Chains A and B, each alone.
Chain A
């Protein structure tokens, strides 16, 4: 369904690329062109945001189905198609992405002084990839955007990053790619399996949803998807790339990384891993839940003792994403909607935190908390914004963070009260580390000479913080507007999940051999070799 009769999604995806082309025509090696380029990129991204506002405006909350759909065959013989669409799950994530990119360009206005053109191009390229990944409904297209995201991000960290930027950038790239390549194999296997069963060559996600996958295969495929997404999220034992990447990345990079890239992981779970493999997801649920809860508490504790503001915020991301994960895996409407909402919140809040840390880093060239103290006195406006964002981050009611967290907790309590109790404890730890940071940085006497004359936020910085601050409250007070749009899609997701799961359960109990899953999978992995490969060979093109 495309209610606009205009390829608006494609426009949104590729408009930044057009911007890249435009930027290419500006001589990048001249200092005097820097501002022009920044302005151009900013206008482009702002326009992009404006365009993307069409999604929520024209979105039909009644239907759970994909909207603004575009479906063009891409590689017919492989069943690849350029298939994009938006539903309640991806709607806000797309808007979040387009919302944050102009802010990122703004926040690096003076921060980025070298290779400005390359930076802006990276940003716009990243935007394309991010939007693309959120709207893709074809597994390969998704994978392409998913991987494409890595490149600009890698450059952002590596070129404009801190002292250990190379290590971090490479680690980021490798770690993420490591997971996703296994997922890639799983995608292909899924395609192959679908083809074997139905005879239709397709990577169309919506069609693959209907595929009945034997439990034993599901486990392996699910595992591959899970690891890829878990790394991206990042879930507890796979998180170590994140602090490194965040600490070294420039502010804009951190913002995008935290606000959007991490969402790819959780979004991936929701869009791909769970609906495709309901039974396996369900079986993995305890593990995921435990990891999520461990992540919430563990990351919070580790965040607490970080000396570096950025790594503190980075670890807090791990903790927050733990919430999202456990919400999604509560597998009920509150949990999932809360999870999605929390994704947006986290994007907004942590993004803002990184912007703010970037602002102060730009002024003081340090992020160590011990170098600060009493900043609230010299930078009252900064202090106000940081306070607002901190509060949103620790989920004080009235801010967006609370709504998401609470919905998640409702969902989790519905399913797993015990995990819920542990998850709630994140409330305390969250407050502990965030306020600890706030107190150490903002409060106390201004005892360092170099801190005494830090200028407060300028108009540009205020301009980028105000929308965030407003949204924090708007989303905290009027979450209904946002959630209503998700309702139908999430319900569909839950219903389909439960239905499929029941089906598989019947199958499993019928066969009564769930424990043999691994053996079966091993068999399946090897069985096809004996089969005649020509069966699948010459199919008409």
Chain B
């Protein structure tokens, strides 16, 4: 059951991702992207990471994607260029290259090799893991520095974005 769910979600995720690429309309692309974000959130949930799944929806689908769509609207970019002809370009060398990359990644073991795991997902001790408090614990102990740095990053990006976007 779970496997089926995973597979279905995977297919949907792939499908939405493909549609992001193949939509001629930018807005459509963005909308497919939102879908993709959602489905990934679902996958997170399947991995029992509720908090991060919610974060995914809020931050990604909610914030970033809205931001992007807003930008698209603002720039009035409804119809994208011809580069998104779905099938015509499928045998494009670039797709082949990408396919090669994927195959190569698979061959050298991404997703197929044995994994060195400390625990497994079924480990009952780990069920609790994924709770917010553990994450919080991490963030405010070991992860303090990156966490603080993220704030600097965001400040920098805001400062930059404001500078760039503001008119003289």
Assess A/B contact in the complex (Cβ within 8 A). no
